[in-house]
Amino acid sequence: MATVGGPRRQLLWLVRWGNSAFRCCLTIQIDSVRKPGQDDSTIPPNVKNAINFYQSEGLIHGRSMIRAADPELTNILGNFRMDYRAHRINCSNYPWLARHFNKSHHEIENDPQVRKKVATLIDQTLLERTTVVAGCLPSKRLSLK
């Protein structure tokens, strides 16, 4: 599932449907910032796997830990702190003000290492789901007339 509006909107949607038959294979949080009245640190039980990438520098930084509402149903793949003090990431795609006052928050979004890990996780999840679905399809020997 991909959403516009970031991980918070995605998790709020999943929490709303948390007690239904709807299951989410994977949720990825990248520097998810705490907002009043919302808790995206608790992953609802209808999410199979969740991972959190965060940084702790600057004015805006993500939460350092996510946890499963039900550890029997949700696997937390990890909470990974990214540090950009030693190696800076190009953020020229952001306006000057954002680059100077929110640099670390935007560095994690532009980090090629994070993007590669995210792409790998999505590919693995899709491969797993495709294998399950393919196993449920009729064989080519069957005729469906």
How confident is the model at residue 102, as a pLDDT? 83
SS3 at position 87: coil
Which ranges of the chain have pLDDT less than 70? 1-21, 129-145
pLDDT for the residue 130: 60
User: Cα–Cα distances in Å, from 54 out to 32, 34, 80, 109, 111?
Assistant: 7, 12, 6, 10, 12
pLDDT in tens, 54-76: 998 877 878 899 999 999 999 99
Cα dist from 24 to 27, 29, 100, 105, 129, whole Å: 7, 14, 36, 26, 11
Place of tokens 């709807």: 22
Q: Which residue, 66, 64, 109, 63, is CA-closest to 84?
A: 109
Largest Cα separation within the chain, whole Å, is 64
Q: What's the pTM? A: 0.74
Domain boundaries, the chain: 6-133
Sheet holding 47-54, edge to edge: 24-30, 47-54, 75-81
